[in-house]
Amino acid sequence: MQNLSMTTKPRQMKLRRLLRRPRERRLRPRRRPRLRFSPTAWAKLLYLRDRGPTEVGGFGIAPADDLLYVEDIQLVRQTCTVVSVAFDDTAVAELFDEQVDAGRRPDQFARVWIHTHPGESAEPSHVDEATFERVFGACDWAVMFILARRGETYCRLHFSTGPGGAFEIPVEVDFESDFAGSDVAAWSQEYATAVRARELRTFPEIQEAGLLGEEATFAPAHELNDDFWATFEQRKEPFLNERPL
């Protein structure tokens, strides 16, 4: 005959396990996305911001395996004022051709939109918001980054996949990865080739810029050609398809 204690003990242990309060699952917090600059890219951006009195705009260049890491900043030909930047459509097309020929996808060179403010505020204006929505709204994801003269920054990540959404993300300079030294001569040549400064001439321009009795802190009025972007998206090769972050 089987010992009674041998049959009841396992049942008692099982009952204790069922009555025991379940352990709280420890969820590892997901690291919030952040935009990172190599020290060289950050130094170049500071130089471009302070090189002249106007706004300056460009695109962040990222490696294929780390799309929120800006390793370089690429200017295109542009006409700039203290409150606006207008990209040359042909120059944007040339940028696409050059970067694709170099083996990069659009999410490596045309998703991080960077520009500067000569004033103290890095907050985007209604012009910034309208431009970001118009030009980058159809992309799987995009980043708007603004650096003001006194060092204030603004960075927002927008994504259209799933339910879509947007939120501000932190910015940092990554000193842990290898980086090249500065190249002021090359940066100066790139600035001189790409940036053409223009003064505000008409009253509507001054009124739109908000320069009636106060310092300009408004963002640029970038004019990227919608038709070009749409055309490129239609003709791009399969290997250029968007990849998630």
Per DSSP, the residues of 143-208 read: EEEEEETTS-EEEEEEE-STT-EEEE--EEE--SS------HHHHHHHHHHHEEE----SHHHHHH
> How many separate domains does the chain show?
1
Give residue 131's pLDDT.
79
- Which residues are CB-contacts of 210 (< 8 A; sequence separation ≥ 6)? 83, 216, 217, 218
CA–CA separation, 105 and 243 (whole Å): 9
Q: Is residue 1 part of a domain?
A: no
Give residue 235's pLDDT.
43
CB 148 within 8 A of CB 122: yes
How confident is residue 81, by pLDDT bands cut at 50, 70 and 90?
A: confident
Give residue 222's pLDDT.
38
Domain that holds residue 197: 31-238
pTM of the model: 0.72
Instruction: Tell me: pLDDT of 112 over 90.
Output: yes
CA–CA separation, 84 and 119 (whole Å): 12
CATH number of the CATH domain containing 67: 3.40.140.10
Q: Is residue 186 part of a domain?
A: yes
Instruction: Tell me: pLDDT of 24 over 60.
Output: no
CB 52 within 8 A of CB 172: no
Q: Is residue 8 part of a domain?
A: no
17-21, 38-42, 185-189, 220-224: least confidently modelled range:
220-224
Instruction: Tell me: pLDDT of 32 over 70.
Output: yes
Task: Tell me the mean pLDDT in the region 81-86.
Answer: 83
Q: What is the Cα 63 distance to its own chain's centre? A: 14
Q: Is residue 81 part of a domain?
A: yes
Answer with the residue of higher pLDDT: 28 or 40: 40
Answer with the residue of higher pLDDT: 216 or 152: 152
Instruction: Tell me: pLDDT of 53 over 80.
Output: yes
37-41, 90-94, 121-125, 184-188: least confidently modelled range:
121-125
- Which residues are CB-contacts of 118 (< 8 A; sequence separation ≥ 6)? 53, 54, 55, 82, 148, 149, 216
Answer with the residue of higher pLDDT: 19 or 165: 165
Q: Is residue 210 part of a domain?
A: yes
Task: Tell me the mean pLDDT in the region 74-95.
Answer: 90
Q: Is residue 200 part of a domain?
A: yes
Nearest by Cα to 128 from 229, 204, 222 = 222
Q: Is residue 217 part of a domain?
A: yes
| Residue 28 vs residues 25, 31, 105, 132, 149: alpha-carbon distances, Å | 9, 9, 32, 33, 38
Q: Is residue 244 part of a domain?
A: no
Give residue 152's pLDDT.
96
104-108, 124-128, 219-223: least confidently modelled range:
219-223
Mean pLDDT of the chain: 79
